[in-house]
Amino acid sequence: MKLLVCDVEGTIFEPHMIKDTDHASYIWTKIADELGDAAKAEEIITQKKWKANAYGPKDSGMAYINWVKDSIHIHQNHGLSAERFTQIIDSAPYVSGVREFFAVLNRKEYIPVLISGGIQNLNTKACIDLGIERENSFAACEYYFNDKGEIDWNLIFVNSCNFWGKEEIVRILLRKYGLNRNDWIFIGDGVNDKTIAEKASFSIGIKPVGGLADIVDYSFTDFNDLLTCQELLGNTRLVVKK
């Protein structure tokens, strides 16, 4: 048995870019975009602060958490409603071939795991659609809304599952399922996946950016492309034929 560790935004779901930045994610930027120009401008400021280490050293546990909290406040301050948020989640487009890939995933040999620096609600959509256990889905936070339809801050618990935090979760899961340190495959797309891809004994990039292509063993444009690679599928037994 092995873990199939998947990044979410940009890997499972198509990324969303705000113009004038080189930062890509689906959920954070998409929400800011939907909330209007002022929210979008504030989101870009948080990205600049991140790059300038204004949230603390990037390898510390709290830097990413502080960035996420800032981003949540932007959503709160600009009135993200439950209804609009649900629309954004529901309309998130999958990368081509994702559904087909998970439909034939060899689940007797692979436990699918989602680790995202984004919002759990998007992961949950993927868990339901792709047959992934909720307890194997990790994200930076999860949104719940109060009776007025506003984000309920009391129920926001911010997680460190990006950068070094991704690796920590893999360690936990390997131990939980009684697996060895090499019993996992990683699939990712972006610069924040480089560290974890380096640690994986085998890694795959989906339209990789930010230098990830130099690290991964295989790169594909999407999951349809991956499904045509007989060498990969033969070596890993990732999928079963129907």
Partner 1 sequence: MIPLLYKIFRIKLPTNVLEEKALDIQANAESYVQKQIGYLRIHELERSATTRIREKCHNDYIYEEIRKKLLGTNELLQYGQTTYILYSDFLKETLVASSLLQPFSNAVEIMMYITFIHIANDVQLRLFIENSSKPVSYLMDNIENKSLKVILQDYRRMRNLAAHTYQLISIEAAQSFILRTYENIQRMELIINPSEDM
Using CB under 8 A as the criterion, which residues of the chain lie in contact with partner 1 when the complex forms? 59-62, 65, 120, 134-135, 138, 142, 144, 154-155, 157-160, 164-165, 167-172, 174-176, 178, 181-182, 199-200
Nearer to partner 1, 2 or 40 (CB): 2
The nearest distance, CB 172 to partner 1, in angstroms, is 5
The nearest distance, CB 158 to partner 1, in angstroms, is 8
Instruction: Report the alpha-carbon distance of residue 4 to residue 223 in Å, rounded.
Output: 14
Nearer to partner 1, 1 or 45 (CB): 1
Instruction: Report the alpha-carbon distance of residue 63 to residue 204 in Å, rounded.
Output: 27
Instruction: Report the alpha-carbon distance of residue 160 to residue 139 in Å, rounded.
Output: 8
The nearest distance, CB 241 to partner 1, in angstroms, is 31
Nearer to partner 1, 120 or 236 (CB): 120
Nearer to partner 1, 12 or 139 (CB): 139
Instruction: Report the alpha-carbon distance of residue 35 to residue 13 in Å, rounded.
Output: 20
The nearest distance, CB 147 to partner 1, in angstroms, is 10
Quick one: angle between helices 61-77 and 37-51, nearest 10?
170
N-term to C-term CA, the chain: 20
Q: What is the Cβ-side half-sphere exposure of residue 232, based on CA atoms within 13 angstroms?
A: 19
Instruction: Report the alpha-carbon distance of residue 24 to residue 21 in Å, rounded.
Output: 8
The nearest distance, CB 234 to partner 1, in angstroms, is 25
Nearer to partner 1, 158 or 215 (CB): 158
Beta strands in 15-122 (DSSP E): 16-17, 24-25, 110-115
The nearest distance, CB 227 to partner 1, in angstroms, is 28
Instruction: Report the alpha-carbon distance of residue 38 to residue 161 in Å, rounded.
Output: 28
Nearer to partner 1, 160 or 219 (CB): 160
Instruction: Report the alpha-carbon distance of residue 228 to residue 211 in Å, rounded.
Output: 24
* b/e burial code for range 193-216 (CB count within 10 A of at least 16 → b): bbebbeebebbbbbbbeeebeebb
Nearer to partner 1, 45 or 172 (CB): 172
The nearest distance, CB 167 to partner 1, in angstroms, is 7
